[in-house]
């Protein structure tokens, strides 16, 4: 998690430890705050820092960033065979760039259902197969 890598980076800075062999960091499933990114960048001599996205319900990382990327403000691009859209949860309208809404994902790795819980399944999976990430 971002909290774990942020704590580790803070400890490294405070203790004066140097880890020159750590060249790449990948954070998955959580947003990287500006403060955490600054601390991580200060603690390590990174060649790449990538933030990607995935959840248990998606069964996989569903976005990626190219190697040698130093980016923490985006989850990157949809992985192959993954469709994404950002939806206004009140209107159901698909939103455009820089608009805030709920991320919906459709991919071959999406879960099919919550075990023995059709009501919970209906809340997160649309009839068209989109998984609402919440």
Give the pLDDT confidence of 74-99 residue by residue, as tens digits.
Answer: 888 999 999 999 999 999 999 999 89
**DSSP three-state, residue 6:** helix
Residue written as tokens 């065979």?
A: 81
Instruction: Indicate the pLDDT class of residue 22, thresholds 50, 70 and 90.
Output: very high
Whole-number average pLDDT of the chain: 92
Instruction: Indicate the pLDDT class of residue 66, thresholds 50, 70 and 90.
Output: confident
- Averaged pLDDT, 130-134: 95
Say yes or no to pLDDT of 1 above 80: no
DSSP string, the chain: -HHHHHHHHHHHHHHT---TT--EEEEESSPPPHHHHHHHHHHS--SEEEEE-EEGGGTEE-EE--TT-EE-S---EEPTT-EEEEE-TTT-PBP-TT---EEEEE-TTS----TT-HHHHHHHB-TTSPEE--
Instruction: Indicate the pLDDT class of residue 112, thresholds 50, 70 and 90.
Output: very high
> Tell me: domain 2-132, CATH 2.30.38.10, correct?
yes
- Averaged pLDDT, 54-70: 87
Closest by CA position to 103, among listed 45, 62, 42 = 62
Q: What is the model's pLDDT at position 57?
A: 92
Say yes or no to pLDDT of 71 above 90: no
């Amino acid at each position: 998690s971002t909290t774990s890598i942020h704590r580790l980076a803070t400890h490294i800075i405070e203790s004066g430890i140097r880890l020159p062999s750590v060249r790449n960091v990948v954070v998955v499933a959580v947003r990287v705050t500006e403060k955490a990114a600054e601390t991580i960048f200060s603690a390590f001599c990174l060649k790449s820092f990538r933030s990607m996205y995935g959840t248990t319900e998606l069964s996989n990382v569903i976005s990626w960033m190219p190697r040698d990327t130093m980016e923490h403000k985006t989850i990157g691009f949809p992985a192959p065979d993954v469709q994404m859209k950002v939806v206004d949860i009140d209107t159901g309208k698909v939103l455009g760039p820089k608009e805030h809404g709920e991320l919906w994902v459709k991919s071959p790795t999406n879960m099919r259902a919550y075990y023995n819980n059709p009501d919970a399944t209906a809340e997160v999976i649309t009839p068209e197969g989109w998984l609402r990430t919440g």
